[in-house]
Structure 1
Amino acid sequence: MDDGPTGPGAPTDRPGPSAPTTPGPDRPPVRRGRPRSEAAERAIVEATLRLIEEGIPLSDLSIERIARTAGVGKATIYRRWEGKEALLVDVVRSLDPEDPPLPGTSLRDDLVVLMENIHRRGLAKRSSALLVSVFAQMQSYPRLWEMHHRVSVLPRRLQMDEVLRRGIADGEIRDDLDFDLLGDLFVGPILVRTVLRPEVVWAKDSAEQIVDAVLAGVRPPRWPSS
């Protein structure tokens, strides 16, 4: 998917190489990809959301159209994002509930917070018609879907991997288990209840129940009972 509505291979509306990039004596250095105006960035994100809410498919969203709706120039967008895919990933990420920091007090406490975060994001994606539409369209564009996974999904998975590896290193989790399976044992019940069984009520202590049940099965044999 490119930046124009005509599909792959279409000419891009990215500013040409002749655009000045060397700062003059009275101009501060330009840092590509880092916003110089929060107001402009917010206007661009909101304009993109507004177009999507109006039913404009992702394939018809061009940088030119987004810039016109936001009241900025195309160069303003390209100073912040390398292209439409990167912008759309940030737009989707802006709709995600913010993850609170891990308490770091214990393996169990960190896992409970991680499970609650996963459930909260799952609810947001299930209850938002906008997110449902965007995710359905994103899967038709491999590059966009891969970028979303790399920017939004993978860092959270790596965070959980770090918590689990710490649990193994500290002797709180057996070291003879398939590591990928270990993560799935915690996440699986939440995905089932969020996607396959949405009618099941999520209790206040559901995350704790899941973590305690899985930990009971993956603890070393002689781990003291709590």
Structure 2
Amino acid sequence: MSTVKFGILSTANIGKTQVIPAIQRSENAEAVAIASRNINNAKEVAAELSIEKTYGTYEELLEDQEIDAVYIPLPNSLHKEWIIKACENKKHVLCEKPIALNNQELEEIVSAANRHNVLLMEAFMYQFHPQHDKVKEIIASGEIGEVSLMRASFSFYLEDRSNIRLINELGGGSMYDVGCYTLHSIRNIFAQEPSSVFATETKRNGLDVDTTMSGVLTFADGKMGVFDSSFDSVHRQNYEVVGSIGTI
């Protein structure tokens, strides 16, 4: 089995605490390099996590011919730029969600990946969890009957107004940060795209991002998905699938 050699763009906490350790535990992947605009930050994380190479710019890492793929946990507003640059350097890409901020960005990203023949993936880890597989298995078995509705929620209270998640220019907002999980999970379970979407948002005083959003997805076969995300509510992270004779 060949080993995929990963380069990491930035020293973001999600990479340090979750993704890099996961790569290192894998039997077929290795984190070989990390880049930061502050080389000292890169060296500090590299020493902590036993990563061989460090770079003081993202461009230098992308030019490293040893690297097969990159993991991108940069601010949401920078995803498109660095995904496209990675594709141009023939690197496969694993990017933190949301992979793009709008449909136009997504089309440009997908076009770049196709043009340079590289793999592109958005980092929704939940879909590979055995628990999620079990949900699909139960639905397929008919145990809960005919599924007609799914509800998905993700929220936590965020007080620090300097947090990147509350900065509009960097792609902040509850929908981009955690609401994307609710939409993805509904579409994943139903295995189809919605025919219509309705959503409404609220913004905490003085902030220019949605701090709460809720809405409804409707599907061509009559199914409905109800979702909500929030930085104004207690921690919730769940979904419910409703069938004609049972729920999960």
- The bucket for the TM-score relative to the shorter chain is 0.3 to 0.5
Question: So what's the TM-score if we normalise by structure 1?
Answer: 0.33
The higher relative CO (CA closer than 8 Å, separation ≥ 6) is in 1
Larger % of helix: which?
1
Larger Rg: 1
Give me the TM-score of the superposition, normalised by structure 2. Answer: 0.31
